[in-house]
Structure 1
Amino acid sequence: MTEQTDKVIKKYVPMSETAFYILLSLFKQPQHGYGIVKYVEVITSGRLTLGSGTVYGTITKMLKDHLIVVYANEERKKIYEITELGKVVIQREMTRLEELYTNVIAHRGDKK
C-alpha cells in the first residue's frame, strides 16, 4: 500500500455510520444520492434516515479523497461509483466490524 492509501485509511477507519453506509451502498452498485438514501433506509429497516445535507457533505469529502467518482450525469442526477481505494477502505472497515461482532458474541455471556 502507498503512503497516500494508508493516510486515507487512517482518516476513515473507524468510519462514521453515514460514511460506512454510503460506501456500502456503492460497493453493491453505482447510485445517485437519493438512491443511496433509499438503500440505507431499506437495509437498516428504517432505523437510519440520512439527510441530504449529510449525504452530500460526506460524498463531497469522499470525492476529494478519491473514494468515489462521478460515474455518470443523468437528467441532473450524478451517479456515484466506488473506486478501488474506496473498496480497500470499506473492506478494512468490514474486517474491523467483523472483529467487533465476533468479540461481542464471544463475550455476550460474561457478567463483569
Structure 2
Amino acid sequence: MMTEAAFLVLTALVDEPRHGYGIVREVETLSAGRVRLKVGTLYGVLDRLAADELVTLDREEVQQGRLRRYYRLTDSGATALEAEAVRLAENIRAATDRLSARHRRAITAGGAA
C-alpha cells in the first residue's frame, strides 16, 4: 500500500520525466486541485520513491540560473503503480457493491412500509 501522494507522483511520471514544479502541477491536475503538494513534501516523497527504486533521476538542466532535476518512472515504479491501481479498484468495487446492496435493501424496506 502506498500513500496518496506517492501514488499521484508516480502517476504524474507515467507519460514523461518531470522536474519538481512540473510534478506539483501535474499532481494538482490529476487530483482536480484536491492535492497540492508542498515542495518539502514532494522531495520527501521523491526521496522515498528513489530509495525504493520506483523513480530515478533522469537528467539535470540549468534554466535561468537554477538547477532543475527531472525524475522518471522506473519499470519497478510502473509495476508498483499498476499493483496499487488494481488494489484501489478492488476496494472501490467492494465499497460500491455494498453501497448498492444497502440502497436496494432501503428501497425494499421503504416499499414494504
TM-score, length of structure 1 as denominator length: 0.82
Instruction: Please tell me the residue identity of whatever aligns with 1:91.
Output: E
Matching residue of 1:82: 73
Q: How many residues align?
A: 99
Rounded Cα–Cα distance in structure 1 between residues aligned with 2:51 and 2:31: 27
Matching residue of 1:94: 85
Identity among equivalent pairs (%): 32
Supply the RMSD in Å over aligned alpha carbons. 1.4
2:4 to 10, 17, 32: 17
Q: In terms of Rg, which structure is larger?
A: 2
Rounded Cα–Cα distance in structure 2 between residues aligned with 1:25 and 1:88: 15
Deviates more, 1:14-23 or 1:102-111: 102-111
Unpaired stretches in structure 1, ≥5 consecutive residues: 1-13
SS in 2 for 1:66: coil
SS in 1 for 2:34: coil
Rounded Cα–Cα distance in structure 2 between residues aligned with 1:45 and 1:90: 19
Rounded Cα–Cα distance in structure 1 between residues aligned with 2:97 and 2:13: 31
TM-score, length of structure 2 as denominator length: 0.81
Tell me how far 1:87 sits from its aligned partner.
0.9
